[in-house]
């Protein structure tokens, strides 16, 4: 799309969408600014709910760190639907910001974490068998409102029930999942894919260390700090990622980026924890050439839009 500003400046304009708490972008995202500038692309951080922004003045609007949307998802989805040239697109945002998409992926044959869903107005009793479980809302970002509970501990059982009640009382859908203990040793693997001339392509992988140490005790910031290191993806992990991406509604050609988060299951095979298509950290600072690959992905989508 051509606009007045572009033709005057002679360079395409790109908005990197963030939130008020990260008005200057997440440090990792700032790494793409120089590679974009080197390609003649003018990029700037823009807060998604700033009412004064003219989104039509940008040639591409790239969702990055809009991590405060979880408690007002309806507003965020409506905003996404109003923005021209948004990537990833509004239809993807609508589907991906509610983790009930995991049920769809599971039904399509993707190995996913077993999940019990508790809707607003419903009650939940901890299962009789002991074990560790994770409780979190179906709409969340940055591991907010997420806790880990050892049901062999009577206090944890009470806290788990209270956590579910706290979410359902505020009309939120709750997820209850078995805790995958392999995360304590192997960590979580995130596989990053970026758009290229031939479609979405694998870029790099990282390891996230275990984050959930116990029950959720209330707000502790916009997101939980992660322990990140570079990692080499295995063929089994790449196979699960490809299987996951093959069933994304609308296909992957529309996507600028995606992140596939995996943890080994009880048998050691990788299991999908989350498919991040809306505002994932891309960890471009942990892989040689990744900032350039992200800039190329932006340039690719700009070229498609003419």
3-state helix, strand, coil in the chain (%, to 5): 30, 25, 45
Spatial CA neighbour of 102 closest among 126, 137, 138, 77: 138
Question: Helices in the chain by DSSP H: which ranges?
Answer: 4-9, 27-30, 33-38, 73-82, 90-96, 101-107, 154-169, 235-245, 290-304
Distances (CA, A) of 177 to 41, 52, 102, 278: 43, 41, 12, 22
> Alpha-carbon distance 266 to 285, whole Å?
31
Phi and psi torsions of 52, nearest 5°: -90, 0
Q: List the catalytic residue out of 64, 157, 231, 293.
A: 231
Q: Are 124 and 192 in contact (CB under 8 A)?
A: no
Spatial CA neighbour of 279 closest among 67, 14, 55, 49: 67
Spatial CA neighbour of 96 closest among 244, 248, 202: 248
72 has catalytic annotation: no
259 has catalytic annotation: yes
Q: List the catalytic residue out of 73, 148, 157, 259.
A: 259
Q: List the catalytic residue out of 186, 188, 274, 276.
A: 276
276 has catalytic annotation: yes
The catalytic residues are 231, 259, 276
């Amino acid at each position: 799309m051509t606009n007045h500003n572009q033709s005057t400046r002679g360079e395409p304009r790109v908005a990197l969408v963030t939130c008020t708490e990260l008005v200057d972008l997440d440090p990792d995202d700032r790494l793409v600014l120089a590679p974009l500038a080197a390609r003649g692309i003018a990029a700037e951080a823009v807060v998604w709910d700033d009412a004064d922004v003219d989104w039509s003045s940008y040639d591409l609007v790239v969702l990055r760190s809009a991590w405060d949307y979880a408690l007002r998802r309806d507003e965020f989805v409506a905003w996404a639907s109003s923005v021209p040239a948004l990537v990833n697109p509004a239809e993807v945002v609508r589907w991906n910001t509610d983790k009930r998409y995991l049920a769809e992926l599971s039904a399509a044959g993707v190995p996913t974490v077993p999940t019990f869903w508790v809707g607003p107005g419903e009650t939940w009793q901890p299962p009789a068998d002991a074990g560790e479980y994770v409780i979190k809302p179906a709409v969340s970002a940055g591991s907010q409102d997420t806790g880990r509970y050892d049901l062999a501990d009577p206090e944890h059982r009470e806290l788990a029930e209270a956590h579910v009640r706290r979410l359902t009382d505020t009309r939120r859908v709750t997820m209850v999942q078995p805790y995958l203990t392999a995360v304590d040793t192997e960590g979580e693997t995130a596989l990053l894919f970026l758009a290229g001339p031939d479609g979405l392509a694998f870029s790099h992988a990282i390891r996230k260390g275990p984050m959930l140490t116990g029950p959720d005790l209330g707000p502790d910031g916009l997101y939980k700090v992660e322990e990140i290191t570079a990692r080499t993806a295995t063929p089994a992990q790449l196979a699960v990622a490809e299987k996951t991406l093959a069933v994304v509604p609308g296909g992957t050609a529309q996507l600028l980026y995606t992140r596939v988060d995996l943890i080994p299951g009880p048998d050691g095979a990788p299991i999908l924890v989350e498919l991040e298509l809306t505002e994932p950290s891309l960890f471009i600072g942990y892989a040689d050439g990744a900032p350039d690959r992200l800039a190329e992905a932006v340039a690719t989508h700009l070229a498609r839009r003419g």
